[in-house]
Structures are given as C-alpha cells and as structure tokens.
Amino acid sequence: MASAWILPALLLGPLLMAACCLIPRSADAVIRFCAVGTLVLAIPGAAAVRHAAALGPLFAAERWLMVDALSAYHLIILLVVFGFSALFAPFYFAGEIRSGRFGVRTAARYGALWFGTIGAMLLVVLSNNLALMWVGVEATTLLTAFLIRLQVGPAALEAMWKYLVMCSVGVALAFMGTLLAAASAGGTGESALLGTDLMRRAEQLNPRMIKAAFLFLVVGYGTKAGLAPMHNWLPDAHSQAPAPVSAVFSGFLLNTALYALLRYLPIVEAATGQAGWARGILVAFGLLSLVVAAGFLAAQREVKRLLAYSSIEHVGLMALGAGLGGVGAVAALFHALNHSLCKSVAFCCAGQLGRIRGTLDLRRLAGSVRVAPVWGTGLFVALLALIGAAPFAIFMSKFLIVKAAADAGRYGVMALALAGLAAVFISVLRHAVALAWAPADAVVAPQKTSIRAAALVALPLAAVLALGLWIPRPFAALLLRAARIIGGFG
Amino acid sequence: MTAWENMLLAAVLLTGFAAVGSSRLATGIRALGAQGVLVGVLPLVHSVAGWNPRMVGFGAVVATTKGVLFPWLLSRAIRASQTRRETEPVVGYGASLALAAVLLPAAFWLADRAPLAVSQAGALMAPTAFTLMGMGLFLMVARRTAVSQVLGYLMLENGIHTFGLTVFTHLPLLVELGVLMDAFVAVFAMGIAIDHINREFDHMDTTRLTSLKG
C-alpha cells in the first residue's frame, strides 16, 4: 500500500506541528514556522488529491476516513486558503512583534491554535464516519474561538462569547441530527454512522426520521456556515479576529460546515425518493441568506463587517446552487473555491489597511489606493471580483447558479437571486470606489511597496481571473466528479 | 433494570426543574452537576447485556467531568464575579416552571410519534431527553447571566446524550471520547470567556453585550 501514509500524515502532521509551536523560541520564528508547516502539509494533501482523482476514493482506518472527489476538492480549498493566510501572517504581525504586543507566548498560542484548527478541519473533510466529522466541526468552533480572542479588548470578547454560545448550540443540534440519521438506519451497530453505508442503503432508511435529522442538521451546521437567519455571530467574529484568522474564517470555516451538510444531501434525497425535499430547504435558506446579506451590505460602515456580510451572501449562493442541483451543484462547488480565494485576499488587505490607517471605518479609509498601493488595489480588485464583475471566475459561477434556476424553470427563485445580486453589486461597488479613490480626509504618507507583498496579493487574484477564462482539464474533471456526488451531472 | 432506569430518569428531570426554577446560580450549578452524574451512570443502568470495564470506566469519566470538573469551573467563575443570583430574568421563575411543566407532556407526545424504540429503550428515555433539550434551550434564552447560559448548554448536551442512548447502546469509544472532550473544551472556553467578561465589563449580563451590531 503506497498510499497508506497519506491520511495519517494529513491528520497527525498538524498535531505534531501544533506541539512544536509550544516550544517557545521567538514570535517571528513561530509565525515563519506556521507558514512553512502549512505549505509542507500540501505534500500529503497533493498526494491525497491525486489518488482520489486518478484511482477513486481512498479509505483508511476501517473506512472511518475517506478521500473521494468531494473531499479532495475541499482539501484543495483548505490548503490554498491556509497557505495564503499563513504567508500573509508575517506582514500582518510584523508591527505587533516589533512593538512587543505580540510576544513569544501569544505567538506560541497562535501557532498551536493555527495548526489545531487545520487538523480539526482536515478531520471534517476526511471523515466518512459522520459522528467523527461532527467532532471535527465542534473542535474547529472551540479552537477558533480562542483565535478571535487573540486581540484583547471588550469587542473581541463580546464577539468570542457570541460565537462560542451560538455555534456550540448550533453544533449540538447538529449532533442530534447525526444521531437521528443513524436512528433512521435502524441503529444497526457502528456502520449506521458511516456515510458510505448510509448512502448505499439510503432507500431503506426511515424517511420521517431522516427528514427530522436533516432539519436538525440544517439548523445546526447552517449556524456554523453562516446561513441566515442563524448568521448573527458571523459579522462580529469576522470583524474582531486578526486578519489572517478572518481570512481563514471566511475562506474555509464556513465551507467546512457547508461541506458537512452537503455530505448528507444525497443521502436524504435518496431516502426521500429524490423528491427534492432536502434541496428545497437548501434553496430557501440560500435565498434568505442572499437577501438578508444584500440588505445589510447596503448599510455597512465598516470594511471587515462588509466583507463578513458578503460571506453570508456567498454561502447563500453556494447553498442555493447545491439545492438547485445539476449545473447549480457544479457552479456551487466552483463558486466555493473562487470565493475563498478572493475573500482571503480581501480580508488580509482590509486588515493591513486598517493597521496602516488606524481605522476600519469605510469612510475614513477613502483613497486607500494612493496611501497603500498594494493593499488598497488588492482590496479593490478582490471586491470587484466578489461582486461578480466579468471576467473573474466568480462571474462565471454566479451566472451558472442563476442559469441553473432558469433551467429548472424556477423563475421566482431566479428573479429573487438576480435582484439580490444586483443590490449587492451596486452597494458594494459604491463602497469600493470610494474606498479606492475618494479624496482622503487626513493626509497619510504613502507606504513603501514591497514586491513580496504585491506578489502575494496578486497571485490568488490572478488565479481567479485565469479560472474565469480557462479551466484546466484535470481540475474540471475533479470538479465534475465532486459535483456528481452531491447530485450534479457530469 | 427498567425500574431503576425510570427512577434515574425521574431524578434527572427533577434536577432539570431545580435548575429552571432557581434564581441562585450556585443551586443551578449543583443541580446540573448532579444531573451530569446521573446521565453519566445512565448507560450502566440501561445496559441489558450487563457491564463491561469499558462502560464502567467511561461512565466514571463522564460523571467526574460533568459532576465535579464543570461545577468547579463554574463556581470559580461566579466567585470571581460576586454574582450570586440571576436578577431580573427575561422570564420569571413561576412562569419558567409552568413552561417546563408544559414541556413534559409535549415531549411525551413527540416521543410517542417518533418511530424510535430501536435499542429497547424504556418508555421514559426519549421524553426525558426531549424535555432536557427543551429546558436547556429555554434557559439559554430566558436568562441573562453568562453562567446560566452555560447551564442551559449543559442541559441541552445532557438531553442529546440521553437521546443517544435510545439509538445506540453505545457509540464507538473514539466518538464518545471526542464528544466528551468537545463538551469539556466548550465549558472550559466558556469559563475563560466568563472570567474575561467579568474583568473587562464588571458584570456577566450577556444582554448588555451589545456594542457590535449592524
């Protein structure tokens, strides 16, 4: 078995690295170690993706762990988001380290939590055992709660408390859903918890029980994914966390919870006779999130909260696409990658601008392109991509989701989605233009431009642009296979 | 074992009512501690096939965590903040108890309709679980102090744990440990958060944490 090392390396690697971070050296060293360690994880990650793409699902530990196309696809997003954020962290923390506010002990805690979070998210993505997947989701909640609290101050504390309580309750309800799903299979031993086994005998599951299970799961995991109306914690947590952490929150924490939900979608659909019951629920929550986010985006005054509400919009779109199925499912997964790339860049640039200008208030950030060319331009381009300006890939995925609604003959859904997207487009574009070029009220000396920072910001954005124009064939194949698992064709 | 099981479940319910009907935080903490111990030993009483070392060991771990460790963490938090009572709850105590009393028959009705009975659970098991979940969620919205909300969370958790017994006689050990560890870290994190909230705000009234909005 040449592939036996892959999954253990992916799960134990982060644990080992987290332990390494606790050996105090200097804050600089920890931050650098985070970057190197995260990139090293790409080695087993790439091996897992290759195996899943070329040879089909890879199982381990009595089929408790599994990498199929859907997990491989999410694994790619995870590694890209964490890799980018870890490379960005040195820029963000440099000032704090110099001023002594980010000492060795804080850095050690940050590093350990960073790798702990990666480990927990990997557990979610790699679990075939649905209860183990739940353990991973809950673990991400708890570990990231401490990451929000890395910044001292009453606001961060309030955000942490809200996040902790709302998501703990949500995830507890998701456990109830997990138990009900197992009960719907008649609770025949441990195999009732394996996703693949439930899928295999989906038609024998008790339909009423599995419906009840899905309701609990939608509310539970939906809270964590930031679907409206369970989204209240999200803007607070995203705006209060340090920028690299916000990037990870928006770039993958939400996807983790949505992934957990998507794992159940084909099971519930098969158990209820492919009547579209579960899909309908996702469509409803997706549309509601889109509309709620559009409303709040119009009235936003703070840049990180703006980005947070934009995340609610995008998670809503993914749920909508997955709910519509067919082309929609493909587009939803494609959208997940595009959104994660842009949103990580946007959060990092916004955090850096906030540092330089001493505020996150949108009006007082005016003229940022002049003050900090790299971060200002990066944020502007990322916002442009996020609202769906062509030819970025997000335009493609949004277009395909709307098209899926039209194909399915659901014109009401299509109209509502289009209205939401248009409202978001207008209000965010207005903010973005002012932020980039409006005359600044205070004169701030322009910052030096660092080539490394410029390259770091430009690379993910260039990737989103390239994906909008051309999709490499192996990537397209993986995307289609992943989408087929959640009910997309291809 | 059904007689023992029913007695235990009745005791679990009583601790729930005690927590809902009391304004003293210390009483609530003690009630939830007792409930944790009872829920921890429930699998032993419930087991048809007799005991094995794994079950006894795990029951002891759950009982210690929920019965000793959690109360200790929470008592420390209220001592530090000098908050003894829940003043001005969102819903008064009389009304809370009345609501809890309505919850009980509702839970019986719900359990009756759900096609459960997969692991020969006694007739009281599922209704107790649903009642605990309902009371836990109720506590979280009807009380203001951070400690009361943690108590509500614990009750919800106990309810789900009890419901789990109606589905599985036992979950795989790794999953059970994972679930327990998550509960532990959750309470630990909430305890730390309460500590910090006390220090930063000089109170732990969560309805007054309202600076972030919009």
> Which of A219, A248, A275 is the last residue in one of the domains?
A275
Question: Interface pTM (ipTM) of the complex?
Answer: 0.90
CA–CA dist A249, A258 (Å, integer): 13
Tokens for B122, please give them: 């006694």
Question: Is A318 inside a domain boundary?
Answer: yes
Contact A240, A159 (CB under 8 A): yes
Same domain for A34 and A104, yes or no, is yes
Low-confidence ranges of chain A (pLDDT < 70): 1, 187-190, 441-443, 488-490
The SS3 assignment for A459 reads helix
Residue B88 has a CB neighbour count (10 Å cut-off) of: 11
Mean pLDDT of B187-204: 80
Closest by CA to B131, choosing from B208, B17, B210, is: B17
Chain B residue numbers touching A299 (CB-CB < 8 A): 214
| Nearest-by-CA chain B residue for A178 | B164
Question: Is A392 inside a domain boundary?
Answer: yes
| Nearest-by-CA chain A residue for B116 | A183
Torsion of Cα atoms, A473 then A477 then A478 then A481, to 10°: 170
Return the bridge partners of B173, or none. none
Q: Do B160 and A172 touch (CB under 8 A)?
A: yes
Q: Which residues contact A389 (CB under 8 A, 6 or more apart)?
A: A395
- The predicted pLDDT at position A465 comes to 95
Question: Is A73 inside a domain boundary?
Answer: yes
> Which of A275, A308, A336 is the last residue in one of the domains?
A275
Same domain for A324 and A457, yes or no, is yes
Q: Do B171 and A157 touch (CB under 8 A)?
A: no
Residue B80 has a CB neighbour count (10 Å cut-off) of: 13
Instruction: Tokens 């809902």: give the residue.
Output: B20
Residue A56 has a CB neighbour count (10 Å cut-off) of: 12
Same domain for A33 and A161, yes or no, is no
Q: How far is CA B60 from CA B9, B162, B166, in A?
A: 18, 16, 20
Torsion of Cα atoms, B205 then B206 then B209 then B214, to 10°: -150
- The predicted pLDDT at position B121 comes to 59
CA–CA dist A277, A265 (Å, integer): 10
Chain B residue numbers touching A300 (CB-CB < 8 A): 214
A414 to chain B, closest Cα gap in Å: 27
Confidence band (pLDDT; 50, 70, 90) for B80?
A: confident
Q: Which residues contact B152 (CB under 8 A, 6 or more apart)?
A: B135, B136, B137, B138, B139, B140, B143
| Share above pLDDT 70 across residues of chain B, in percent, rounded to a whole number | 93
Mean pLDDT of B164-172: 75
Q: Which of B46-60, B63-77, B161-175 has the highest mean pLDDT?
A: B63-77
Same domain for A123 and A266, yes or no, is no
Question: Is A140 inside a domain boundary?
Answer: no
> Which of A94, A128, A162 is the last residue in one of the domains?
A128
- The predicted pLDDT at position B57 comes to 87
Lowest mean pLDDT among A399-408, B25-34, B77-86, B95-104: B77-86
Tokens for B77, please give them: 């938090």
Same domain for A159 and A100, yes or no, is no
A325 to chain B, closest Cα gap in Å: 30
* Domain assignment of residue A228, given as a range: 151-275
What are φ and ψ of residue B186, in 5° steps?
-60, -50
- The predicted pLDDT at position A1 comes to 53
A467 to chain B, closest Cα gap in Å: 34
| Nearest-by-CA chain B residue for A134 | B179
Question: Is A144 inside a domain boundary?
Answer: no
Same domain for A171 and A318, yes or no, is no
Chain B residue numbers touching A169 (CB-CB < 8 A): 137, 140, 153, 156
- The predicted pLDDT at position A490 comes to 45
Number of structural domains found in chain A: 3
Residue type, A277: W
Instruction: Tokens 């996040």: give the residue.
Output: A163
Contact A82, A38 (CB under 8 A): yes
- Residues of B in CB contact (< 8 Å) with A are 114-116, 118-119, 133, 137, 140, 146, 149, 153, 156-157, 160, 163-164, 166-168, 171-172, 174-175, 178-179, 181-182, 185-186, 189-190, 193, 196-197, 200-201, 206, 209, 211-212, 214
DSSP string, A108-146: HHHHHHHHHHHHHHHHHHHB-BHHHHHHHHHHHHHHHHH
Confidence band (pLDDT; 50, 70, 90) for B44?
A: confident
Q: Do B186 and A236 touch (CB under 8 A)?
A: no
Question: Where in chain B are the domains?
Answer: 2-202
Chain A residue numbers touching B164 (CB-CB < 8 A): 179
Q: What angle in degrees, to the nearest 10, is found between the helix axes of A473-485 and A42-55?
A: 70
Question: Is A429 inside a domain boundary?
Answer: yes
Question: Is A37 inside a domain boundary?
Answer: yes
- The predicted pLDDT at position A189 comes to 62
Mean pLDDT of B177-181: 79
CA–CA dist A27, A353 (Å, integer): 22
Same domain for A463 and A343, yes or no, is yes
Same domain for A30 and A66, yes or no, is yes
